[in-house]
Amino acid sequence: MIVKELSFENFRNLENNTVFPSDGINVIYGDNAQGKTNILECLWLFTGNRSFRGAKENELIKFDNAFSKIHLKFEAREREQEIRLMIKGGNRFIELNGISKRYISEIIGSFCCVVFSPNHLTLIKNGPDERRRFIDAAICQIKPSYSSILSDYKTIITSRNALLKDIKEHSELMDMLDIWDEKLAVQGALVARERIAYIKNFSKYCSEFYTGISKGSEKIEISYKLSFGDEVTEDTSKLKAMLSDKLIKAQQSDIYQGYTGYGPHRDDLVVTIDSKNARNFASQGQQRSAVLAMKLAEASVLKAESGEQPVILLDDVLSELDYKRQDYLLNELSDKQVFITCCESEIMTKLKEGNKALFYINSGRVTPTEIE
């Protein structure tokens, strides 16, 4: 996918404008609080998702205005397409290729992005919840049916946990636990299988990108850790058997605690750099590099599955990276369309010749700049 033209009217602090990006690397630079991230947020909204910054609809409209309009022309599936989006009265009104859509979800998959922001460093820094959400969201992009599998699993977990609490007061409900254990084992095996299959491909791409970012000086490894067994397999029947065995053995402890202690909701994604756990031992630069590699790997899996290269959005990505890591992002990803924001005015000296564009932003005004 290639962004050909981006227009915005009354969006955040951005001055009304139309931007024509390069097919390769696009660098947006300027001081803090000038509107750099707003451009990436604007692009992200065309995926049909909410703001990656967690903003409410009315926060996307410039102060003292009743509406905001954004317009995207892009190339996908070998033809030019366009999306128009208006934000007004707390709602979003959408058109895809001139046809009005009732629900924003109807455009999901038409335009695809992968975004990195400093908030995504929690993938490494925080607990396993963040990493499970990352995997699940990535799988849903390439396999929409997975969202149903995941939803059913969560419903079963909620019901089983409620039963565990009730059993403390009503022991006659104990017979019901075996029924829910069976349902949980079946659905949990499906969730685990999809995650394991995804990580199998994802980890290869992640390793390649991290090697490029670190110029081969470090090695990253990504592995899936089951909470209910040591054999990480794509065999659904084996996963079901392992989970069923754990659930049966843990019934009394689960009743005592009042929640389910084993299952995909307790699994984790383990990230190591040079065989050391990245959460505990990696530097800030290494952690940032690891999350970048994970985001780029996510994009590669999406391309492999859909045939379309998603647009890469990298917000405030260069800070805490040494020169060689910055060089990789600025000059070695030109086979993809990338939008990078940064504060450094000297960025021009780091850009090598190629398919690139540079934009300066000040008080919301976006100005194309010549690359020296």
Supply the CATH number for residue 148's domain: 1.20.1050.90
Same domain? For 212 and 320 the reply is no
Give the pLDDT of residue 372: 63
- Residue 270 predicted with pLDDT over 70: yes
Count of domains observed in the chain: 2
Which of 280, 300, 334 finishes a domain? 280
CA 278, CA 23: separation in Å to the nearest integer?
Answer: 34
Structural domain contains residue 64: yes
Average pLDDT, the chain: 92
Task: For tokens 């000040």, name the residue.
Answer: 362
Q: What is the pLDDT of residues 123-154, one digit of tens each?
A: 999 989 999 999 998 998 888 889 899 999 99
Do 276 and 128 belong to one domain? yes
Residues 105, 6 within the same domain = yes
Q: What is the pTM of this model?
A: 0.86
Backbone angles phi, psi at 86, to 5 degrees: -120, 135
- Domain assignment present for residue 189? The answer is yes
Give the model confidence (pLDDT) of 288-316 as tens digits: 999 999 999 999 999 998 888 999 999 98
Examine the domain organization and report whether 153 and 203 are in the same domain.
yes
Considering the domain architecture, whether residues 147 and 238 belong to the same structural domain is answered as: yes
* 117 is a domain residue: no
Residue 79 inside a domain? The answer is yes
Q: Report the pLDDT averaged over residues 68-84.
A: 94
Q: Report if residue 296 sits inside a domain.
A: no
Residue 292 within any structural domain of the chain: no
Which segment of 167-181, 203-217, 245-259, 264-278 scores lowest on mean pLDDT?
Answer: 167-181
For residues 329 and 254, state if they share a domain. Answer: no
Domain that holds residue 242: 124-280
Is residue 298, in this structure, part of any structural domain at all?
no
User: In terms of pLDDT, which residue wins out, 356 or 278?
Assistant: 278
Residue 5 has pLDDT above 90, yes or no: yes
State phi, psi for 357 to the nearest 5 degrees: -140, 150
176 and 211 together in one domain: yes
Tell me: do 93 and 187 sit in the same domain: no
Q: Look at residue 349 and tell me whether its pLDDT is greater than 80.
A: no
> Are 101 and 136 contained in the same domain?
no
Which of the pair, 18 or 369, is modelled with greater confidence? 18
What CATH number is given to the structural domain containing 55? 3.40.50.300
Shared-domain flag, residues 128 and 275: yes
pLDDT, average across residues 169-185: 91
